[in-house]
Amino acid sequence: MLKNKVPTIKEIAKRLNVSASTVSRALHNHSSIGLVTTMRVHKVAKELGYVANKMAIYFKERKTYTIGVIIPDLSEPFFSSALTGVEDAAEAVSYNVIIGQSLDNFEREKKIVENMKDHRVDGILVSLTKETSSYEHFDSLKQYNIPIVFFDRVPSRKDIHFVACNLVSGMLQAVTKLVNIGHTRIGLINGPRQLGATLQRLEIYIRCLKENSLQIDQDMIVSTTLDKADNIKAIDQLLSLEQPPTAVIVFNDYVLLDCFSAVKAAGLVVNKDISFISFANLPIWEYMDSIPLASIEQFAYKQSSMAAGFLFELIHHAANPNSIEIAPMQHIIDSEMIDYTKTE
């Protein structure tokens, strides 16, 4: 039995008694081809079930119309929202998206970068792992003309393109709220030391305490690797202090969920014996019995969609053989505290 024959441009040309080059230009709605001919070509192509050979087009244009996005964990609502932002931006310019989950593992991140390079993506968006402290795997992509834009978790470098969130505004609102309702012993559960966001949170926390004339107690500043056991260890460390904090600012909402378990296990009541404010503003809180007083919104969708816009600008710019290197495109979005204690 003969296999079904795949329709070609030559077959369309033969049907219409025109050249293959005319058909090709008509399929791309080229201005040099008359409207009647263009309509006839599209009609016959549809009748035959013609599908363009995208690989041939990609080879000719030196583009795959595909970008890669590397995120720590798609199961986290923050990063799923960020991915939606990327996909919406990509759809608007007819690009496809390849997704890679690093699962917060540095070696896995490097392998994903290598795989995306091998698949000839036109550019990559990245939110770093908690383990990433060197960037050679990203820098190596320059020789392949694959631009990179970072978002949310970004390297502490000045020579990169990125979109990130300024945590000062949200943290200041959080500390001020806690002070206004009577808290003077405010702890901090921070994240992995390698993350730039960890240092940023610490600096802002200390600054905000000073601005509210509160004493800095190093015993009330602890860190976690973001693993469940370490999250619980961090809150237990604070609870075991001779004078434990009455309120704690937590690295993110996912860490806070584990903290809630430890607090309840200690026989304490959330927001009565100890209060919390965290980062991320997850949608799950409306379904929970125990919730933080507030959470700091970091605008995942806005960050990633803007970063995608930067990336497409870089890709378009690189398509010009006479283009010069673009100066680092960088944008910082202000965070905002979402107060859960306010009623409508």
Tokens of 221: 């500043």
Does residue 341 fall inside a structural domain? no
Does residue 3 fall inside a structural domain? no
Handedness of CA 199, 201, 203, 205 (dihedral sign): negative
Does residue 278 fall inside a structural domain? yes
109-136 confidence digits (pLDDT tens): 999 999 999 888 999 999 999 999 899 9
Are 244 and 219 within one domain?
A: yes
The residue type at 302: K
Burial of 156 (0-12, 13-18, 19+ CB in 10 A): exposed
Does residue 339 fall inside a structural domain? no
Does residue 342 fall inside a structural domain? no
6-18 confidence digits (pLDDT tens): 788 888 888 899 9
Task: Name the residue with tokens 């890669």.
Answer: 68
The answer, as to whether pTM is greater than 0.85, is: no
> Cα 281 vs. chain centroid, distance in angstroms?
15
Residue 2 has pLDDT above 50, yes or no: no
Task: Name the residue with tokens 């550019």.
Answer: 123
Tokens of 299: 């605008």
Are 177 and 289 within one domain?
A: yes
Are 186 and 158 within one domain?
A: no
Are residues 119 and 287 in contact, defined by beta-carbon separation less than 8 angstroms?
no
Number of domains composing the chain: 3
- What CA–CA distance (Å, rounded) separates 245 from 238? 7
| Structural domain range at position 43 | 9-52
Are 184 and 262 within one domain?
A: yes
pLDDT of residue 219: 96
Are 194 and 117 within one domain?
A: no
Number of other residues whose CB lies within 10 A of the CB of residue 163? 25
Does residue 338 fall inside a structural domain? no
70-123 confidence digits (pLDDT tens): 999 998 889 999 999 999 999 999 999 999 999 999 999 999 999 999 888 999
pLDDT of residue 4: 58
Are 75 and 149 within one domain?
A: yes
If you count them, how many residues does the chain have? Answer: 344
Are 175 and 265 within one domain?
A: yes
Are 186 and 287 within one domain?
A: yes
Are 199 and 285 within one domain?
A: yes
Nearest to 95 by CA among 76, 69, 77: 69
243-256 confidence digits (pLDDT tens): 999 999 999 999 99
Are 144 and 189 within one domain?
A: no
3 state DSSP class of 150: strand
